[in-house]
Structure 1
């Protein structure tokens, strides 16, 4: 496994775990097999022209887009136990962490990763329990002929999703606490972020030294760094095809959040002017 840290804005990052080739070649767990089967079934349903399958897929895709990108990122990190099944020596060697050294200061990265690992654990634990406890209450819906018990499957899916994110966060916390992170600034990411930082921040030249560029990032307000087209670039640079979708989702969510905050600030400013 290799961890990828992708700054979406000057204040918000996406973490993503890319499995190594030798990991993928190992025997998959039962959970992985069930997940793969569900993905294949969903893909078939997406081909439906009409009917409940088409409506369900349309609704499901919208729901997935609303799931926080932080949850998706943590879900990409396998559980510590699954990694140890793949490699009994796992936990004794460092894990590479790739990041752009001109957008994130390496000295701050461990603190950032510790926060990512711990700040959402209680949320995922509570929502996981709530989803699994509420799912059986939807059983009567399953008695209706033809119509699938959508609430049941949704609650089970959300419970499973929170369970995966919780395991991922605990795994990341283990790596941070045991000092098993090998921080590596990636040249390809440095090249991409040199352009994005210089574009997003005024008075930041493309050829500025890394130390000055990352200092400008730290001093700035929260500003979007990536564009939608960068998602596929990232996937190519880091040889992680699935990263493109995760990056696109994160870019959309962060952009919407920043726009909402900007609009709120403008509304507050206008309100203050009216009061005076």
Structure 2
């Protein structure tokens, strides 16, 4: 696998794990097979024109949108089991972590350790709470023609927290063993550079400088991405599935900043910058 660290705002980033082609061809674990089957069933339900399946999918998608993007990111990291731990420790093959060096603080390993550890207690508590409460909803199954939605929801949330917890443990293991190889990707730096530099234009596009990071740290938190940027990032990293993760993270971070009263002119500035870029592209295409 390889990891991506994608800044959503100047103070929040999304971690995402992409499996390599060789790993995709391996036999799936029992839990992964169940997950795959559930995803296929959910996809079939989405095709229903009406009925309880359609309604369940509609509300289920809303619930999934509310799951924190941090949890989704940790869930993308494969669980750490005894076999994987032994193999990774024996091979000592370092996992690449691709990130934009001009948008992340120099202490990249410290940032990764924070992501790996800060939510472990939360996922552990909520995992056990979900698994303990789920059986108490069993009497609902006695009602004919009505699926036991509370049970399935609690079971899903319990699994989701379990997966995020084990993903965070895997990331922490890689950090403790020194098996991570942070790489600042020039393409990502060029993508983020126009979103980072002050209006004075002193920092050139594609330039990685400690000054840029210091400028970010001194300012209030501001959005770096829009919902549509996920597709472009997916192309740069050859990970089209990243678009959904970025879109979800952007929506959640934006809502949080709006609720905290931190977004004043940032969104307008970002939208204005996008319009200028589109206009430049149109002029270039017309020549």
Q: What TM-score, normalized to structure 2?
A: 0.86
**Which residue of structure 2 lines up, in the alignment, with residue 145 of structure 1?**
144
| Cα distance in structure 1, aligned partners of 2:44 and 2:183 | 40
**Which residue of structure 1 lines up, in the alignment, with residue 123 of structure 2?**
124
Aligned pair count? 260
Runs of 4+, deviation exceeding 3 Å: 201-206
| Cα distance in structure 2, aligned partners of 1:255 and 1:44 | 32
* TM-fit CA distance, 1:93: 1.7
| Cα distance in structure 1, aligned partners of 2:188 and 2:263 | 33
- String of CA shifts for 1:36-86, please: whole Å, max 9, x gaps: 11111101111111111111001000000000000000000001228728x
**Which residue of structure 1 lines up, in the alignment, with residue 79 of structure 2?**
79
Q: What does 1:1-276 align with in structure 2 at a 5 Å threshold?
A: 1-81=1-81, 84=84, 89-91=87-89, 92-105=92-105, 107-198=106-197, 201-203=198-200, 205=202, 207=204, 209-211=207-209, 212-262=211-261
* TM-fit CA distance, 1:143: 0.4
* TM-fit CA distance, 1:205: 4.3
Give the aligned CA root-mean-square deviation in angstroms: 1.8
| Cα distance in structure 1, aligned partners of 2:15 and 2:56 | 29
* TM-fit CA distance, 1:263: 6.8
Q: What TM-score, normalized to structure 1?
A: 0.90
**Which residue of structure 1 lines up, in the alignment, with residue 283 of structure 2?**
none
- String of CA shifts for 1:213-237, please: whole Å, max 9, x gaps: 2221222211000011110111111
Q: Which runs of 5+ in 1 are unaligned?
A: 266-276
**Paired residue secondary structure (1:165):** helix
Q: Residues 72 and 165 of structure 1 are in contact (CA less than 8 Å); yes or no, is this contact kept in structure 2?
A: yes
| Cα distance in structure 1, aligned partners of 2:83 and 2:73 | 17
- String of CA shifts for 1:96-144, please: whole Å, max 9, x gaps: 0000011113x31111111111110000000000000000000000000
Cα separation, partners in 2 of 1:53 and 1:158, compared to 1, 3 Å: same
**Paired residue secondary structure (1:4):** strand
Q: Which runs of 5+ in 2 are unaligned?
A: 265-287
Q: Residues 220 and 262 of structure 2 are in contact (CA less than 8 Å); yes or no, is this contact kept in structure 1?
A: no
